């Protein structure tokens, strides 16, 4: 048995020296690279690149996975601004001025009747949006590259970003308290 292994190893060593085995491995590797390249080109050409189409399940999964990996994991801080009626009203006004154009006044994200962004504007009230206050603050202040989400670090102060996030959290709650609702929708007293 030992003699057979030795002979096998010598045969393999001779093949390696002669270059035949190397050529085989290189040919297989080159074939695999060419196959991956052809599949990538074909899928690229078959893909509908319009901004009006909803992303598929794989694309949504990859986008969420990449977003979760790109956010600082240690940024789990809570909003330091208390949800007083004054802060909620300030947050509502900031949200309507800076965020509602893309995310909608109710925070539902891209609507079929609104502007079409790609990747689509996410819903801020989606229960699957599992981001901490600190992570949302990071996204708001830094933006997300290669999307329509800009950085608001030059536009809003830290306190204003936290106030706007208070309103976003308020939107995500099923029922709003009357004092937190926009002034236009409050019932007027006789």
Q: How far apart are CA 128 and CA 169, in angstroms?
A: 14
Please state whether the peptide bond connecting residue 144 to the residue before it is cis, i.e. omega within 30 degrees of 0: no
71 has pLDDT over 80 = no
d(CA 111, CA 155): 26
Question: What pLDDT was estimated at residue 52?
Answer: 63
Contact between residue 117 and residue 110 where contact means Cβ atoms under 8 Å apart: yes
Supply 109's token pair.
Answer: 């994200």
Residue 185 is encoded by which pair of tokens?
Answer: 């929708």
Contacts made by residues 62-65, CB under 8 angstroms, sequence distance 24+: 63/119
CA-nearest of 107, 104, 93, 79 to 180 is 93
Residue 83 — very low, low, confident or very high, per pLDDT cuts 50/70/90? very high
CATH of segment(s) 63-173: 1.10.760.10
Predicted local distance difference test score (pLDDT) of residue 185 = 41
What are the helix (H) ranges across 99-132?
Answer: 100-103
Q: Which residues of 44-70 are buried (b: 16+ CB within 10 A; e: fewer)?
A: eeeeeeeeeeeeeeeeeeebeeebeee
Q: Which residue has the higher pLDDT, 14 or 67?
A: 67
Query: Which of 11-20, 63-72, 125-134 has the lowest average pLDDT?
Result: 11-20
Q: In the predicted model, what is the mean pLDDT of the chain?
A: 77
Average pLDDT over residues 109-135: 79
Percentage above 70 pLDDT, the chain? 68
Q: Is the pLDDT of residue 123 over 80?
A: yes
pLDDT at 184: 42
What is the pLDDT, as a whole number, of residue 35?
92
| The pLDDT value given to residue 91 | 94
Choose among 83, 118, 87, 125: nearest CA to 103.
125
């Amino acid at each position: 048995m030992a003699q057979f292994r030795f002979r096998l190893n010598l045969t393999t060593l001779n093949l390696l020296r002669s270059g035949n085995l190397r050529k085989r491995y290189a040919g297989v590797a080159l074939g695999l690279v060419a196959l991956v390249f052809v599949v990538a080109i074909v899928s690229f050409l078959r893909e509908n690149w319009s901004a009006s189409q909803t992303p598929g399940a794989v694309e949504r999964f990859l986008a969420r996975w990449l977003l979760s990996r790109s956010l600082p994991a240690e940024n789990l801080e809570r909003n330091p601004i208390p949800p007083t009626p004054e802060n909620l009203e300030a947050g509502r006004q900031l949200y309507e001025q800076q965020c509602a154009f893309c995310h909608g006044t109710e925070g539902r994200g891209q609507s079929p009747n609104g502007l079409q962004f790609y990747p689509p504007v996410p819903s801020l009230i989606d229960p699957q949006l599992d981001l901490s206050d600190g992570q949302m603050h990071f996204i708001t202040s830094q933006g997300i590259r290669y999307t329509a989400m800009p950085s608001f670090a030059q536009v809003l102060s830290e306190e204003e970003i936290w106030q706007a996030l208070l309103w976003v959290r308020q939107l995500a709650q099923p029922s709003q308290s009357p004092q937190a609702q926009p002034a236009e929708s409050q019932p007027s007293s006789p």
